[in-house]
Structure 1
Amino acid sequence: MAQLSETYACSPTTERGRGILISGDPRSNSIAYCNGRSVIIRRLDANLEASVYGEHAYPATVARFSPNGEWVASGDSSGTVRIWGVHGDRALKNEFRVLSGRIDDLQWSPDGLRIVASGDGKGKSLVRAFMWDSGTNVGEFDGHSRRVLSCAFKPTRPFRIVTCGEDFLVNFYEGPPFKFKLSHRDHSNFANCVRFSPDGHKFISVSSDRKGIMYDGKTGEKIGELSSEDGHKGSIYAVSWSADSKQVFTVSADKTAKIWDIMEDGSGNVKKTLVPPGSGGLDDMLVGCLWLNDHLVTVSLGGAFNLFSASDPDKTPVTFSGHMKSISALSCFLQSGQKTILSSSYDGVIIKWIPGLGYAGRMMRKDNTQIKCFAAVEGELVTSGFDNKVWRVPISGDQCGDAASVDVGSQPKDLNLAVQTPELALISTDSGVVMLQGPKVASTIKLAYTVTASAISPDGSEAIIGGQDGKLHIYSINGDTLVEETVLEKHRGAITVICYSPDASLFASADANREAVVWDRVTKEVKLKNMLYHTARINCLAWSPDSRLIATGSLDTCVIVYELDKPASSRITIKGAHLGGVYGLAFVDDNSLVSAGEDACVRVWRLVQ
Structure 2
Amino acid sequence: MPQLAETYACVPSTERGRGILISGSPKSNAILYTNGRSVIILNLDNPLDVSVYAEHAYPATVARFSPNGEWIASADVSGAVRIWGTHNDFVLKKEFKVLSGRIDDLQWSPDGMRIVACGEGKGKSFVRAFMWDSGTNVGEFDGHSRRVLSCAFKPTRPFRIVTCGEDFLVNFYEGPPFKFKLSHRDHSNFVNCVRFSPDGSKFLSVSSDKKGILFDGKSGEKIGELSSEDGHKGTIYAVSWSPNGKQVLTASADKSAKVWDITEDGNGKVKKTLTCPGSGGVEDMLVGCLWQNDYLVVVSLGGTISIFSASDLDKAPLCLSGHMKNVASLSVLKSNPKVILSSSYDGLIVKWIQGIGYNGKLQRKENSQIKCFAAVEEEIVTSGFDNKVWRVPFNGDQCGDADSVDIGSQPKDLSLALHSPELALVSTDSGVVMLRGTKIVSTINLGFPVTASVIAPDGSEAIIGGQDGKLHIYSITGDTLTEDAVLEKHRGAVTVIRYSPDVSMFASGDANREAVVWDRASREVKLKNMLYHTARINCLAWSPDNSMVATGSLDTCVIIYDIDKPASSRTTIKGAHLGGVYGLAFTDQQSVVSSGEDACVRVWRLTPQ
Alignment TM-score, normalising by the size of structure 1: 0.99
1:123 is aligned with what amino acid? Answer: G
Q: C-alpha distance in 1, partners of 2:601/2:78?
A: 27
Structure 1 residues 426-445: aligned runs within 5 Å = 426-445=425-444
Structure 1 residue aligned with 2:487: 488
Structure 2 residue aligned with 1:568: 567
Q: C-alpha distance in 2, partners of 1:198/1:549?
A: 55
Describe the superposition over 1:260-294 as per-residue Cα deviations: whole angstroms up to 9, x where unpaired: 00011100110111101111100000000000010
Q: C-alpha distance in 2, partners of 1:399/1:289?
A: 29
Structure 1 residue aligned with 2:2: 2
| C-alpha contact (below 8 Å) 2:337/2:588 kept by paired residues | no
Q: C-alpha distance in 1, partners of 2:329/2:89?
A: 30
Q: C-alpha distance in 1, partners of 2:84/2:436?
A: 55
Structure 2 residue aligned with 1:239: 239
> Could you tell me how far 1:26 is from its partner in structure 2?
3.9
**RMSD in angstroms over aligned alpha carbons?**
0.7
Structure 2 residue aligned with 1:169: 169
- Three-state SS of the structure 1 residue aligned to 2:338 is strand
Q: C-alpha distance in 2, partners of 1:251/1:70?
A: 29
How many corresponding residue pairs? 608
1:398 is aligned with what amino acid? Answer: D
| C-alpha contact (below 8 Å) 1:40/1:52 kept by paired residues | yes
Structure 1 residues 201-212: aligned runs within 5 Å = 201-212=201-212
Structure 1 residues 403-442: aligned runs within 5 Å = 403-442=402-441
> Could you tell me how far 1:459 is from its partner in structure 2?
1.1
Describe the superposition over 1:211-232 as per-residue Cα deviations: whole angstroms up to 9, x where unpaired: 0000000000000000000000
Structure 1 residue aligned with 2:510: 511
Structure 1 residues 220-235: aligned runs within 5 Å = 220-235=220-235
Describe the superposition over 1:320-370 as per-residue Cα deviations: whole angstroms up to 9, x where unpaired: 1111111111111146x4621111112111111000000000100111111
2:294 is aligned with what amino acid? Answer: D
1:157 counterpart = 2:157: yes
> Could you tell me how far 1:525 is from its partner in structure 2?
1.0
| C-alpha contact (below 8 Å) 1:540/1:585 kept by paired residues | yes
Q: C-alpha distance in 1, partners of 2:586/2:337?
A: 14
Structure 1 residues 301-450: aligned runs within 5 Å = 301-334=301-334, 337=336, 339-450=338-449
Q: Which moved more, 1:326-335 or 1:208-217?
A: 326-335
> Could you tell me how far 1:91 is from its partner in structure 2?
0.5
Q: C-alpha distance in 2, partners of 1:339/1:40?
A: 25
Q: C-alpha distance in 1, partners of 2:382/2:19?
A: 33
| C-alpha contact (below 8 Å) 1:384/1:412 kept by paired residues | yes
Q: Which runs of 5+ in 2 are unaligned?
A: none
1:471 counterpart = 2:470: yes
Q: C-alpha distance in 2, partners of 1:338/1:52?
A: 26
2:579 is aligned with what amino acid? Answer: G
Structure 1 residues 14-163: aligned runs within 5 Å = 14-163=14-163
| C-alpha contact (below 8 Å) 1:227/1:268 kept by paired residues | yes
| C-alpha contact (below 8 Å) 2:26/2:68 kept by paired residues | no
Q: C-alpha distance in 2, partners of 1:535/1:250?
A: 47
| C-alpha contact (below 8 Å) 2:288/2:300 kept by paired residues | yes
> Could you tell me how far 1:373 is from its partner in structure 2?
0.9
- Three-state SS of the structure 2 residue aligned to 1:283 is helix
How many percent of aligned residue pairs carry the same amino acid? 78
Please identify runs of 4+ aligned residues in structure 1 that moved more than 2 A: none
Q: C-alpha distance in 2, partners of 1:581/1:22?
A: 26
1:572 is aligned with what amino acid? Answer: T
Describe the superposition over 1:58-110 as per-residue Cα deviations: whole angstroms up to 9, x where unpaired: 11000001111111100000000000111221110000000000000000001
1:164 is aligned with what amino acid? Answer: C
Q: C-alpha distance in 2, partners of 1:503/1:71?
A: 51
Describe the superposition over 1:476-518 as per-residue Cα deviations: whole angstroms up to 9, x where unpaired: 1101110111010011111000000001000000111100000
- Three-state SS of the structure 2 residue aligned to 1:89 is helix
Q: C-alpha distance in 1, partners of 2:509/2:363?
A: 33
1:267 counterpart = 2:297: no
Alignment TM-score, normalising by the size of structure 2: 0.99
| C-alpha contact (below 8 Å) 2:26/2:67 kept by paired residues | no
2:266 is aligned with what amino acid? Answer: G
- Three-state SS of the structure 2 residue aligned to 1:163 is strand
| C-alpha contact (below 8 Å) 2:416/2:424 kept by paired residues | yes
1:590 counterpart = 2:589: yes
Q: C-alpha distance in 1, partners of 2:46/2:88?
A: 19
Q: C-alpha distance in 2, partners of 1:18/1:189?
A: 13
